[in-house]
Chain A
Amino acid sequence: DAKTTQPPSMDCAEGRAANLPCNHSTISGNEYVYWYRQIHSQGPQYIIHGLKNNETNEMASLIITEDRKSSTLILPHATLRDTAVYYCIVRANSGNTPLVFGKGTRLSVIA
């Protein structure tokens, strides 16, 4: 699996867009980018994933650069409830081995 690099922490003002970056310069052609988040003392929650096209769902948008070496998770209007640790993971879509969760980015949404 390709290695990912995320900043350890970020702040965002409530109501503003939160843009969380992830570098994955060694990503392979068949590997997807997955995002999860973990609110304090809860289990992680799947957010979104993509291969090369930008993706959007009710929770967030995922922007993947054309060379696929980095991506950005966008929370368009951050709320206090979005305060969490966000994990970026790169995996082939049908991987048979478990996901590896690094330390992620701790996002603090500030009122």
Chain B
Amino acid sequence: DGGITQSPKYLFRKEGQNVTLSCEQNLNHDAMYWYRQDPGQGLRLIYYSQIVNDFQKGDIAEGYSVSREKKESFPLTVTSAQKNPTAFYLCASTTGGSGANVLTFGAGSRLTVL
């Protein structure tokens, strides 16, 4: 079945460590997104990529980095510069054109900083 796979589902990190969250899709979607969600809040956009080897910052990109070397993959690195990284992270993808607003989401990765 086609879909988006995020890993790991749960991740614990010590302060000062970088961590990378994986996002892989087999939907042949062009665009991919990373959102962050804090308890009781909506989703906030971190980074997005509409094509391989290109990506743009979202509203809260500071302390995060991404790469888009393959169409299927869009990993997110949470760096030590992110002041409050504990959150639920969601990856999504979509086709372009008229289907651009129908997003498919992964199951999410929950990061806890100890």
Footprint of A on B, CB under 8 Å? 4, 33, 35, 40-43, 45, 48, 50, 58, 88, 90, 92, 97-98, 100-108, 110
Contact = CB atoms under 8 A, between A and B. Distances in A.
Nearest to A103: B42
Interface of A: 32, 34, 36, 41-46, 49, 87, 89, 91, 93-96, 98-104
A43 B33 CA distance: 12
B102 A46 contact: yes
Contacts of A49: 101-102
B42 A91 contact: no
Contacts, number: 55
Q: Is the interface of A mostly helix, strand, loop or mixed?
A: loop
Given A43-B92, A43-B108, A102 B42 contact: yes
